[in-house]
């Protein structure tokens, strides 16, 4: 074919690509190949082998994803980073069980500037039995039971009371509270825990919305966008994301170390002055409302009951930490003059004068929390408790250092729960009713918001009555309140010993000796001077982690036993059993304390419990044999001594002397039941194990004398 003319080329270009090359060639009388060559169109054969354009773009998009996936795989291969699951699967003696991950809060605390607080290593059954009622408790440090370590917190006290009311049921009250976390963490925990057959959720949260991890004013977050925070949480399990986060943390300028170290309160607060009603304040409140709504939606979707508690804090005896002004400097000077005059009148006991001056200061500027608090204290001193309560609550709400939730947070709780028909435990009202003139103070609080053991009991009480009103466990009318105890009796069964009180006192003193407190708070523990000094040394060892909490209680129990104070020693062992009920070890020592008090039936029950948890070990069986033989019960002694002999080889700690004593007692039991041949056999074994033992020699002689 002749080459294309300029006119043909122009016609081809104007027709392409509206018309196919074959059609253009036919119209112009040229070859299809020349048309295709001009416009760059592939021949039919070539077109069949060319990949579509979308494949190219797909590969272009996939290349960076594959690159990052390779990095992620490499980081995981070399074990960089971590996947901090909330619930871990464990195994002991061939039995599987679940346990909360002690280090789960590392999800939310980047770098080393702030040490991530520990969760409690709460364990619960892998296979839930039909009579088990499983409760998950969610929240921050108040749920965790701070400043106490175990037994005083409301989940533990609630479990003790539920077991009292419903002894036929097995209650697993699992404390998933962690200091310095807020509703973002609780939302994540909720999504995980609904998979573990919960029967009830209890929620006490809201104080940490500003400074808790991922709070709007926290050093561990500080973001003002909820979608951004949730995206961060969704990505936080990726090792590549953790590498980036750790790198950013390394670039941060470290905070100067203070003498004695910083408290967690110091470390987490970034913005220390958040005015009531400010943009940051509203963000924190609104994030809380949105998170609470989503938490409850998740729980209700899984058809699990839930109770949410209102929040309580110390309004009567905790002055505001920070005041902020809304007016110019000239007004601030006049405000300060009025406050000074009010202070002078208050010191003289001139309540009316103090009220007049503090009121004048508030007329100049209502924003500073200090004026509202001092005016409230003046009305309290004058006996006008209604006005005092309103002003003290206002002082708490205006406090710009937001470690205490404002009144609006309880309004949010009631509103969100009402919209979803979720019951509310009115904890704030319950604690107020236990305080003089309904003003929450040190009668129930250790410092600004953490309850004392009595306050925690009242939180448990508020949750319990909300559960009863909703017919949880059993219909409301069938709750067996006749089995209940008065409050003093409930505190006794909670097993909160002086050691636990000393631990709390030392933690409170350490906390309140530093910013933002002005004066240290000292909690008194009733104990004689020598005993208190020993308790303080033991508490120091526990807090420094020189030895465990369990060992601390064993040391105190030993101290008490050596001084004949067996009833107090008993409580120390019971405290440990409340925390680790499936451990055989403390039951044996508990039995010793009970035997010393001549409580033989209780000692027998303790040893039987120990034997249930250590069927492959000899200790509890040997101890039961001793108990029965001292009571002249050879028939009961024989089977447990046989079990002790059968399992003696399973423990290196069961010495030759121990085995000798078991064989001796067994021989004695056989002799008393007239099985003399077997008795001689076992007394000879005892003699070989401990040659020269006078009791064994005497029994050998007696048995020989009875020979036919």
Among 92-106, 121-135, 288-302, the minimum mean pLDDT is found in 92-106
Query: pLDDT digits over 664-692, tens only?
Result: 999 999 999 989 989 899 999 999 999 98
Query: pLDDT digits over 306-357, tens only?
Result: 999 999 999 999 999 999 998 777 789 999 999 999 999 999 999 999 999 9
User: Where is 87: in which H helix or E strand?
Assistant: strand 87-92
Q: What is the mean pLDDT of the chain?
A: 89
pLDDT at residue 56 tops 70: no
Secondary structure tally for the chain: helices H, strands E: 31, 8
pTM, rounded to two decimals: 0.86
| Integer Cα distance of 572 and 396 in angstroms | 38
HSE toward the beta carbon, residue 557, CA cutoff 13 A: 25
Query: What residue ranges define each of the domains in the chain, with the CATH number in brackets?
Result: 6-49 (no CATH), 87-315+407-488 (3.40.50.1110), 329-398 (1.25.40.10), 496-599 (no CATH), 614-708 (1.25.40.10)
Which of the four pLDDT bands, split at 50, 70 and 90, describes residue 251? low
The torsion angles phi and psi of 663, rounded to 5 degrees, stand at -65, -40
Among 31-45, 146-160, 374-388, 600-614, the minimum mean pLDDT is found in 31-45
pLDDT at residue 498 tops 90: yes
* CB-based contact 378:358 (threshold 8 Å): yes
HSE toward the beta carbon, residue 208, CA cutoff 13 A: 29
Q: What is the pLDDT of residue 36?
A: 72
pLDDT over 90 percentage in the chain: 71
* CB-based contact 110:242 (threshold 8 Å): no
């Amino acid at each position: 074919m002749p080459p294309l003319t300029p006119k043909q080329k122009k016609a081809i270009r104007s027709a392409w690509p509206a018309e196919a090359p074959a059609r253009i060639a036919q119209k112009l009388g040229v070859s299809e190949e020349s048309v295709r060559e001009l416009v760059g169109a592939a021949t039919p054969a070539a077109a069949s082998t060319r990949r579509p354009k979308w494949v190219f773009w797909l590969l272009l998009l996939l290349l960076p994803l594959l690159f990052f996936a390779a990095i992620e795989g490499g980081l995981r291969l070399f074990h960089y980073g971590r996947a901090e699951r909330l619930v871990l699967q464990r195994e002991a003696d061939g039995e599987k069980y679940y346990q909360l991950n002690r280090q789960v809060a590392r999800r939310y605390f980047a770098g080393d500037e702030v040490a991530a607080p520990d969760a409690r290593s709460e364990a619960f059954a892998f296979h839930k039995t039909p009579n088990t009622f499983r409760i998950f408790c969610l929240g921050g440090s108040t749920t965790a039971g701070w400043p106490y370590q175990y037994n005083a917190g409301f989940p533990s006290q609630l479990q003790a009371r539920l077991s009292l009311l419903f002894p036929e049921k097995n209650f697993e009250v699992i404390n998933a509270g962690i200091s310095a976390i807020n509703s973002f963490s609780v939302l994540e925990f909720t999504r995980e825990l609904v998979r573990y057959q919960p029967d009830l959720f209890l929620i006490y949260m809201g104080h940490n919305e500003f400074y808790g991890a991922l709070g709007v004013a926290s050093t561990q977050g500080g973001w003002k966008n909820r979608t951004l925070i949730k995206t961060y949480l969704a990505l936080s399990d990726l090792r590549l994301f953790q590498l980036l986060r750790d790198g950013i943390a390394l670039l941060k300028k470290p905070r100067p170390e203070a003498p004695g170290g910083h408290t967690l309160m110091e470390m987490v607060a970034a913005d220390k002055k958040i005015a009531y009603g400010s943009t940051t304040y509203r963000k924190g409140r609104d994030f809380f409302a949105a998170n609470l709504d989503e938490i409850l939606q998740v729980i209700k979707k899984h058809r699990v009951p839930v109770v949410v508690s209102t929040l309580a804090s110390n309004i009567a005896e905790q002055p505001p930490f920070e005041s902020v002004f809304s007016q110019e400097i000239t007004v601030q000077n006049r405000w300060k003059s009025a406050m000074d005059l009010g202070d002078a009148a208050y010191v003289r006991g001139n309540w009316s004068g103090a009220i007049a001056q503090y009121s004048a200061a508030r007329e100049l500027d209502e924003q500073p929390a200090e004026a509202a608090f001092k005016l409230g204290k003046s009305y309290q001193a004058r006996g006008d408790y209604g006005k005092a309560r309103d002003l003290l609550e206002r002082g708490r709400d205006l406090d710009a250092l937001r470690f205490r939730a404002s009144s609006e947070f309880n309004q949010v709780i009631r509103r969100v729960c009402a919209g979803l028909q979720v019951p509310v435990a009115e904890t704030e009202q319950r604690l107020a009713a236990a305080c003089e003139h309904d003003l929450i103070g040190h009668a129930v609080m250790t410092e600004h918001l953490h309850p004392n053991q009595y306050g925690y009991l009242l939180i448990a009480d508020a949750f319990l009555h909300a559960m009863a009103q909703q017919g949880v466990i059993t219909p409301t009318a069938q709750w067996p309140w006749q089995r209940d105890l008065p409050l003093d009796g409930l505190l006794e069964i909670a097993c909160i010993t002086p050691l636990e009180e000393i631990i709390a006192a030392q933690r409170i003193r350490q906390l309140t000796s530093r910013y933002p407190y002005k004066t240290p708070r000292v909690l008194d523990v009733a104990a004689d001077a020598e005993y208190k000094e020993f308790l303080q040394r033991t508490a120091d060892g526990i807090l420094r982690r020189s030895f465990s909490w369990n060992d601390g209680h064993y040391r105190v129990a030993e101290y008490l036993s050596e001084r004949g104070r067996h009833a107090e020693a008993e409580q120390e062992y019971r405290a440990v059993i409340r925390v680790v009920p499936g451990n055989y070890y403390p039951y044996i020592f508990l039995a010793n304390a009970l035997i010393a008090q001549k409580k033989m039936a209780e000692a027998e029950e303790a040893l039987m419990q120990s034997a249930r948890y250590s069927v492959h070990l000899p200790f509890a069986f040997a101890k039961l044999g001793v108990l029965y033989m001292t009571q002249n019960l050879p028939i009961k002694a024989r089977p447990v001594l046989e079990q002790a002999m059968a399992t003696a080889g399973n423990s290196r700690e069961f010495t030759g002397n121990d085995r000798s004593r078991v064989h001796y007692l067994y021989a004695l039991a056989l002799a008393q039941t007239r099985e003399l041949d077997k008795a001689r056999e076992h007394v000879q074994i005892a003699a070989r194990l401990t040659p020269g033992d006078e009791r064994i020699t005497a029994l050998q002689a007696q048995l020989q004398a009875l020979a036919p």
